[in-house]
Amino acid sequence: MKCSRLTCLVGGLVLALGACAAAADERGEGAVELVLETGRPLRVALDTRIKVKHVGQPVSGVLTEAVYSYDRVVLPAGSRVVGHVAALERVSRGARLRGIFAGDLTPPHAVTLQFDRVVLGDGTTIPLETRVGPGLEGVTLAIAGASEKGKIARAKEEIKRQIDQAVTPFKGPDKWERAKDWVVSRLPVHPQYLRRGTVYSADLLAPVDFGWTNPTERAPAGDAPNPDSVLTARLVTPLSSEATPRGTPIQAILTRPVFSEDHRLVLPEGAELDGEVTFAKGARRLHRNGQLRFLFETVKTPEGEPETLLASLHSIQLGGGAVAVDDEGGTSATSSKARFVAPSLALLAVRGSFGHDDHDGPEARPDGPSSDPAAQGVGGFIGLSALGSALAQTSRPVAVALSVLGFVRTGYGAVFGKGREVVIPADTPMELQVAPKKE
């Protein structure tokens, strides 16, 4: 029996309303939607060494940290992320000339990646739309000093253990692999690699929905995280010891929910932390490094009003150089003593390139002392990489000139040059320690 168009429309509407009501009953009152909003960054580390060849080339990595929505994990740490090379852009003419002067005839392309899907442990595939920023090599974890004893020290050790355990599956290349990459990169003509362990921040261009759920019971209004507890967050405001003056407002987003001792929800993922820069000092000549300190003062949940919450930096993950965190949460750039190795070798190479004579009397060379081919090669390498090593063997004057060039360049940078700035990009993961309770 056929129904009229009006009757079918009404019947369909009734069924739809019934389905919505059933879904609402199943969710329960106060249910929350688990969704990763547009702009949410995912932190991905490459799990293999990739030789860059062409656009469309597949790449893969793993999530370096669990991704939370409201009060629970929606993407576990270690989940596989699959993508491809989206673009290869030539470097600028200036960068190319600088590379040529340094002995590099094949300066690297600017590689843009795109991650397309996450594959969970059970094989479930979740599609993604992402915009991927530049990669960070040599990401290290800096933790505030733990001179105090008792509860704080134990908490810090536990945090360090958890982070080390989480990072183990996707640590960067070992020393031998790094050494090979370093040697290859010094050749005049060489392939370009994306190193294993390079970390990328992939911002979502479209939301990822994980459905609705009944949330964990909330703690009473006004409850705050326990004193000395550690919060996990990501920085929203980029910071620099050179460009961010004292008093600059800053913001961070909580990336892991905070629970009370009886497992009631105190702060959900997404709570906003606001504060300001309390000290900033730029790097100076004679290799004096920059310093930066900041403090968070309030927290605001998506449905609440701002509340006082004092928290300082406990640990931070940064790439491209070492940063130290002191007991009070201040950061300062650090420099390795290894920076003196290159100028020392260059100075020895200068001496060897000028020549030496181990013979006296009638057996001495009539045309003057002989130069050391090994010293010439080392000096040429420091002055102009592998191309310099080859050129240094052509004549003593060339070897001396390249050795002097290498000594001046590396010596100035190691001793007289400007120190390193503290630079903390947006979306940098960090741990914040809640201020201890006043006696």
Each residue's pLDDT tens digit, 99-117: 777 777 787 889 999 999 9
Average of per-residue pLDDT values in the chain? 82
* Alpha-carbon span 113 to 43, nearest angstrom: 13
Over the stretch 223-259, which tens digit does the pLDDT of each residue have? 889 898 999 999 999 999 999 999 999 999 999 999 9
Is pLDDT at 378 greater than 50 in this prediction? yes
Nearest to 208 by CA among 85, 115, 78: 115
Q: Is the dihedral of CA 207, 213, 214, 215 positive or negative?
A: negative
83-87, 323-327, 425-429: which range is least confident on average? 323-327
Are the CB atoms for 277 and 248 separated by under 8 Å? Answer: yes
Are the CB atoms for 433 and 228 separated by under 8 Å? Answer: yes
* Alpha-carbon span 320 to 338, nearest angstrom: 15
Give the whole-number percent of the chain exceeding pLDDT 90.
Answer: 47
CA angle 317–323–324, rounded 5-degree value: 105
Which stretches within 333-425 are classed as H helix? 341-354, 373-392, 396-411
Buried b (16+ CB within 10 A) or exposed e, 53-79: eeeebebbbbbbbbbbbbbbebbebbb
Q: List beta partners, residue 431.
A: 232, 315
Residue 403, CA distances (Å) to 203, 382, 413 in order: 46, 7, 15
* Alpha-carbon span 44 to 132, nearest angstrom: 10
Are the CB atoms for 177 and 49 separated by under 8 Å? Answer: yes
Q: Which domains does the chain have, with CATH numbers?
A: 29-137+174-215 (2.40.128.260), 217-335+419-439 (2.40.128.260), 339-356+369-416 (no CATH)
